Structure 1
Amino acid sequence: MPTTRRAYLAAVGAAAAVGTTTGCLGGGSASALPDGCDVGSLESVSSLPRPALGPDDAAVTVDVFEDYACPHCQTFTQDVYPEIRSKYIDPGEIRYRFFDFPIPVDDEWSWRAASAARAVQDRAGAGTFFAFAKGVYDNQDQLSDEGHQVVHDVAEDLDLDGCAVAAAAEQEPYRSIVEADKRAGTDRGIPGTPAVSVDGEVLDGYGWDTVDTGIRRRLE
């Protein structure tokens, strides 16, 4: 089932009661910027294109709403998104669009990681944006304690200025864009994350079988 903040925190509380720890609970303090990352103040950015893959005139549009601190979004990005890309995006069957929907699962990094990702999009385009998003999800368990270092290192791995991306996480110059996405999702009745919408219909689940069926039904 998609993650809601109430359900997520309830699950964390239950785990803590039996001695299990988690790296995704909100409330931790922001980590310092990596050494040598003094880039000064960043200008606020209020508009960017929608991060998207696939042709503009594709027969089907798939919208995905995510929170970078949501463990179910991590599962979706690691396990389901590659299947969608291989079967439908790369052959040009669908237009695949990303929406930020910080619940927030983590009071800081649901927002900070989103701003870092938009900084990557602003500098390198949609393809690199999606590669960066996957890198963040691959290191999700480190976000709460080492988030600035995570976004810095993932950006550097993509041949981008890691300090600028870490500063975007710290200063959140893309916050208004992320907030606009959150409002759009709320207006569309998005219940939690990840949520997958196919031509405006929100699917009842995000597993591959559900998504594959939802897309094929629209393509037929």
Structure 2
Amino acid sequence: MNGNREPAESAGSPRLNRRRALLGIGGLTASTLAGCLGGASSGSNGSGGGGDTLPTPVQGDPEASTTVTVFEDFACPHCQTYVLDVLPTLASQYIEPGKIRYEHYDFPVVNDTSWRAASAARAVQQRTGAKQFFKYATALYENQSSLGSKTYASLAKEMDLDGSAVRKAAENQAHESTVSANKQTGKDRGVEGTPTVFVGDKTVEPTVEAISSAIESA
């Protein structure tokens, strides 16, 4: 796959303007975010990463009474839409004020890139923690059309991390055990595609309106 990274978006770029416009009218509809269904990616093809699994990446207040759990695939275009167009509003309204505990789970379904990108993000988590994990995850979605070894490395370097180490983690699927455990957790909870959002134990549509309503009602 093409590993060349797309240029960064400027403040007046069409994509950012589109995002702001969507958020300004209340977010996206459920039909816009119809997810990527499972089945295309049943497992990884890498050398695999054994050993201990990494903890769940968490944002917000870890002790908050309301937990929002999201199952994602970095190669899923609907997850890209969710993270770039919906999550920023949730972050400003609920995550940053500490009103919720926000959890990320990997649920690779699209193709082998799903697994490699997840391992790249987990390599960042392992080295720097959850905050940088979420920053790197967002960067992956911003560069979804060019996911590949060069992109994994260059994005890590932009965060002053060892790009070569992150690239190798992706290529070798060094965190396969964590990603596989995440996917099994999703299956156990009835997840079939991405993005799947839980507010507590209840699944909700991945829109600002639906998630906000569920949080306020929790």
* Length-normalised TM-score, structure 1: 0.78
Task: Give me the identity figure in percent.
Answer: 45
| CA distance in 1 between partners of 2:193 and 2:48 (Å) | 31
Q: In the alignment, is the contact (CA less than 8 A) between 2:48 and 2:177 conserved in 1?
A: no
| CA distance in 1 between partners of 2:103 and 2:191 (Å) | 15
Code of the residue aligned with 2:168 in structure 1: it is A
Matches within 5 A, 1:73-112: 73-103=79-109, 105-106=110-111, 108-112=112-116
Matches within 5 A, 1:41-120: 44-103=50-109, 105-106=110-111, 108-120=112-124
Code of the residue aligned with 2:210 in structure 1: it is T
Determine helix, strand or coil for the equivalent of 2:149: helix
- Equivalent residues, number: 181
Code of the residue aligned with 1:115 in structure 2: it is S
1:165-219 deviations in whole A, cap 9, x for unaligned?
000001111101100000000000012100110011111x21111111111111x
Q: In the alignment, is the contact (CA less than 8 A) between 2:66 and 2:200 conserved in 1?
A: yes
Residue 206 of structure 1 corresponds to 206
* Length-normalised TM-score, structure 2: 0.79
1:91-145 deviations in whole A, cap 9, x for unaligned?
0100000000001x12x110000011100000000000000000000010112xx
Q: Which runs of 5+ in 2 are unaligned?
A: 1-33
Q: In the alignment, is the contact (CA less than 8 A) between 2:106 and 2:182 conserved in 1?
A: yes
The structure-2 alpha-carbon separation of the partners of 1:45 and 1:155, relative to structure 1 and needing over 3 Å to count, comes to farther
| CA distance in 2 between partners of 1:161 and 1:209 (Å) | 39
1:43-86 deviations in whole A, cap 9, x for unaligned?
74422111001222102000000000000000001011111111
Residue 4 of structure 1 corresponds to 37
The structure-2 alpha-carbon separation of the partners of 1:45 and 1:97, relative to structure 1 and needing over 3 Å to count, comes to same
Matches within 5 A, 1:135-214: 135-143=139-147, 147-203=148-204, 205-214=205-214
The structure-2 alpha-carbon separation of the partners of 1:79 and 1:98, relative to structure 1 and needing over 3 Å to count, comes to same
Determine helix, strand or coil for the equivalent of 2:89: helix
Determine helix, strand or coil for the equivalent of 1:86: helix
Deviates most, 208-217 or 173-182? 208-217
Q: After the TM superposition, which parts of structure 1 deviate over 3 Å for at least 4 consecutive aligned residues?
A: 41-45
Determine helix, strand or coil for the equivalent of 1:49: coil
Q: In the alignment, is the contact (CA less than 8 A) between 2:70 and 2:105 conserved in 1?
A: yes
The structure-2 alpha-carbon separation of the partners of 1:129 and 1:188, relative to structure 1 and needing over 3 Å to count, comes to same
Instruction: Report how far residue 42 of structure 1 moved.
Output: 10
Q: In the alignment, is the contact (CA less than 8 A) between 2:64 and 2:100 conserved in 1?
A: yes
- Over the residues paired in the alignment, what is the CA RMSD in angstroms? 1.9
